[in-house]
Amino acid sequence: MKKYALVTGGSRGIGAAIASQLAADGYHVIINYRSNAEAAKETLQAIEAAGGEGELLPFDVTEEHTVDEALEQWEERHPDEYISVLVNNAGVRSDNLMVFMETEQWNRVMGASLNGFFFVTRRLLKNMITHRNGRIVNIASLSGLKGLPGQSNYSAAKAAMIGAMKALAQEVALRKVTVNAVAPGFIHSDMTKDLNEAELKKTVPMHRFGEPQEVADLVSFLVSPKASYITGQTISINGGLY
């Protein structure tokens, strides 16, 4: 039976590396994105060129009804199948000191990481529970563990994601669904290209930013049978930066 993995924000950056790795691991990968169809098509083409398979499923994770509609339609097209792996990777940054932070910035960042996690996970959980098989990985952040100045919105969203992950892990443990988080430090992607890498990498004990593939390898492990007794955990991947 075909195994399906959904990666939200799978079109670019860390999500694209995760989607490619899961395809290489033998999953049919469902690549979600919000608006950049070009990047999503390129990611899918690269997967197919490498002998993997996948499909595109655009929806905005912040919109409850859009999420439900897209996943309902997917389920109608695949009446006998279900998505057993979910990687909640979609996220955005909108940094500002709190004193200047607009409500819109707060809501946008919370919407993508926290509400997105809730809407997509709630929808896919039912099938995982029924089949007694599931793997959920949330892409959190070092920012959600230690807090970073200028990122009160982002730190809050990622910390909340980790809290929800711990609660959910206990709710579904008996049903053989594991729920974990990954907390990357600085990783090369569009999200970090405006940062002063030369300065920031000095703060990392390994003196470099990480690569999306390094995060993808960790996610690949967490969704594999080798990680069957790991649940409710946050695994940092940050070159030693705390």
Residues in Cβ contact with 102 at an 8 Å cutoff, skipping those fewer than 6 apart? 96
Residues in Cβ contact with 241 at an 8 Å cutoff, skipping those fewer than 6 apart? 142, 185, 186, 203, 204, 205
Q: Which is nearer to ligand NAP, 191 or 204 (CB)?
A: 191
In degrees, rounded to 5, the angle at the alpha carbon of residue 81 between the alpha carbons of residues 75 and 85 is: 90
Q: Which residues pair with 181 in a beta bridge?
A: 138, 234
**Residue 27 annotated to the active site:** no
> Does 52 sit near ligand NAP (CB under 6 A)?
no
Sheet holding 134-139, edge to edge: 53-56, 28-31, 4-7, 83-88, 134-139, 177-184, 234-237
Report how many residues bind ligand NAP under the rule CB under 6 A. Answer: 31
Interface with ligand NAP (CB under 6 A), residue from 20, 29, 60, 123: 60
> Does 90 sit near ligand NAP (CB under 6 A)?
yes
Interface with ligand NAP (CB under 6 A), residue from 4, 5, 6, 9: 9
> Does 96 sit near ligand NAP (CB under 6 A)?
no
> Does 186 sit near ligand NAP (CB under 6 A)?
yes
Tell the smallest beta-carbon distance from residue 58 to ligand NAP (Å). Answer: 7
Q: Which residues of 190-225 are buried (b: 16+ CB within 10 A; e: fewer)?
A: ebbeeeeeeeebeebeeeebbebebbbebbbebbee
Taking residues 123 to 162 in sequence order and writing x for each that binds ligand NAP by CB under 6 A, - otherwise, the string is ----------------x-x---------------------
> Does 107 sit near ligand NAP (CB under 6 A)?
no
Residues that bind ligand NAP (CB under 6 A): 8-9, 11-15, 32-36, 39, 60-62, 89-92, 112-113, 139, 141, 184, 186-187, 189-192
Residues designated catalytic: 154
